[in-house]
Structure 1
């Protein structure tokens, strides 16, 4: 093995340890009692207990908060991917001088910092009145659907950009054969394009679930009822008024991270294949 290869392996090993250290330390801290760490310090070893997980679940109200995250994340991801597929199909399969402009308009949402839109979005949602069966607040503010709309608006552009680039690589002969067989545009989209886009859709679904599930900024701004907060925002409940039990917060953070890890491992095969599309020729 050459010196350059040794240096590369050593660099990758060091970087891997640096990335794994915070996670390993969080796991260790979550398994230790606050009294033990207060007496012996956070660099000590001992005082192991599982009480932090039980206390974190009860204190943060994770049962309701996980349900809130499901209510927000699932519709947001499905709507985002559905809209992105439709936009990408139009941009990739139909030649028009407005294609690039259309894609740029949807992608522009990803270029704007959320903080710059805080005040106008908040006031807009405050003034838009909706039926009470749609939102018990009577407006989009403090509404699950308001948070879903914001997430869809910010994520659709990125997904449309990725899917359009993939759809452009699909052989045109497939669509020519489908048209000869009398397939309508809807059938070309539903029965031909979407099955072929399964790998990128799985990769995007994994990313979108992670991003929307972990979204904290808009949930804090647009939600005003404590019982509607998603699970990430409920971590604030683990902070005390005069001090913070870092071991308890570590346990709560690991509980919050479990669903995204489970989704990643469930879709790992499709996720990796979706990321490596186009990496090789042939």
Structure 2
């Protein structure tokens, strides 16, 4: 191909990716840059802002509420990873030959994924209600007096994690199921000829072959958990009503704190600093996961 032909081909390539690139620049890159700039400013009550340098970040480092929100978010993220091995187990059960109604099971597991998060939060808010919630009614049948799950500091975080796992396990299950079906059947046949049972095949063939899929799911799960907002906001609310909840300190996440600072107290410069710090945290954890994945592959 001539130089002119390569140039024409390159121009057509740029022309095809231009709409997507322009959309990413306008709706993703520019807001990030704008937020980063606002994190160095202070906003007035009626608009307008002044440059304050690193004041917001210095304030952020000394704010105990930020530390508590980060701890709550990390707790939710780490404990929420329990849903990954659960999804693998359920995917393995649904991947068995001769299982009847497998389509119905897949639909039942995947249904929470396509349900609006607000609807999910409202449903579980009713289930967890301490006075008339279905969970406590079931516990009362066996003589257990259940707590007010969302209002009790001892149970609020765990109740929220259950909702998070329940609403995301279907997505993880479908991805793992697709990964299992891509594993060559010859590996299982050879293992069976060597006398390996199903459990041994699962640990020696299925899990190692699923490691790239598990890595992808872990990346997506961690990023999604660090951005948790809608479940907490609907189940606990915001502002004075939310702060009246005894478990408010155990449920407040970084994104919820950002929302309150930006739209409730109108402290937008400080809110921008909070969300930029969250962006840095997400990037750091993602890089750490990539490095751990490389070491795991090298070890295997």
**1:238 aligned residue:** 261
CA 1:251–1:187: 2 relative to 1, 3 Å = same
Matched, 1:217 2:230: yes
**Does 2:29 align with 1:64?**
no
TM-score (norm 1): 0.80
Tell me if 1:96 matches 2:99: yes
User: 1:116 & 1:63 partners in 2: Cα distance?
Assistant: 30
Matched, 1:105 2:108: yes
2:167 to 154, 162, 166: 154
> Any idea what the Cα deviations from partners look like across 1:37-77, whole Å, max 9, x if unmatched?
97xx55xxx83511111223445712111111122111112
Per the alignment, residue 275 of structure 1 pairs with none
Moved more, 53-62 or 247-256: 53-62
Correspondence for 2:84 among 63, 81, 86: 81
Q: Please list, as runs of the form range in 1=range in 2, the aligned pairs for 1:128-143 lying within 5 A after superposition.
A: 128-129=135-136, 138-142=147-151, 143=156
Q: Any idea what SS the aligned residue of 1:107 has?
A: helix
How far apart are the structure 2 equivalents of 1:158 and 1:10? 31
Q: Tell me by how many angstroms 1:150 deviates.
A: 0.4
Distance 1:151 1:10 in 2: 37
Aligned partners of 2:162, 2:103: CA distance in 1, in Å? 24
Contact 1:203 1:270 in 2 (8 A): no
Gaps of 5+ in 2: 1-6, 140-145, 237-244, 294-300
Over 3 Å counting, the alpha-carbon distance change for 1:256 and 1:125 in structure 2 is same
CA distance in 2, matches of 1:56, 1:250: 11
How far 1:98 sits from its partner (Å)?
A: 2.1
Instruction: Tell me how large the CA RMSD over aligned residues is.
Output: 2.8
Give yes or no for contact 1:88–1:160 (8 Å, CA) kept in 2.
yes
Aligned length: 257
Q: Give the Cα separation in 2 of the matches to 1:149 and 1:236.
A: 24
Deviation digits for residues 134-164 of structure 1 (CA, Å, limit 9, x no counterpart): xxx9343241111011001110000100110
Q: Name the CA distance, whole Å, in 2 between partners of 1:227 and 1:107.
A: 32
1:184 aligned to which of 173, 197, 214:
197
| Matches of 1:262 and 1:120, distance apart in 2 | 34
- For structure 1, the residue ranges without an aligned partner over 5 or more in a row are 131-136, 272-282
Shift of 1:218: 1.4
TM-score (norm 2): 0.76
Distance in 1 (alpha carbons) for counterparts of 2:173 and 2:211: 14
Q: 1:74 to 1:168 in 2, by over 3 A?
A: same
Which range is displaced more, 219-228 or 261-270?
Answer: 261-270
Label 1:56 to 1:6 Cα distance change in 2 as closer, same or farther (>3 A): same
Range with greater deviation from structure 2 (223-232 or 99-108): 223-232
SS at match of 1:182: coil
Give the C-alpha shift of residue 118 in structure 1: 4.0
- Deviation string, structure 1 residues 5-39 (Cα, Å, up to 9, x no partner): 3423544543343221111111111123447x97x
Aligned residue number for residue 242 of structure 2: none
Alpha-carbon contact 1:31-1:251 (below 8 Å) kept: yes
Check whether the contact 1:56–1:238 (CA below 8 A) recurs between aligned residues: no
Query: Which of the residues 200, 204, 209 maps onto 1:196?
Result: 209
- Equivalence for 2:177: 164
The residue that corresponds to 1:249 in the other structure is 271
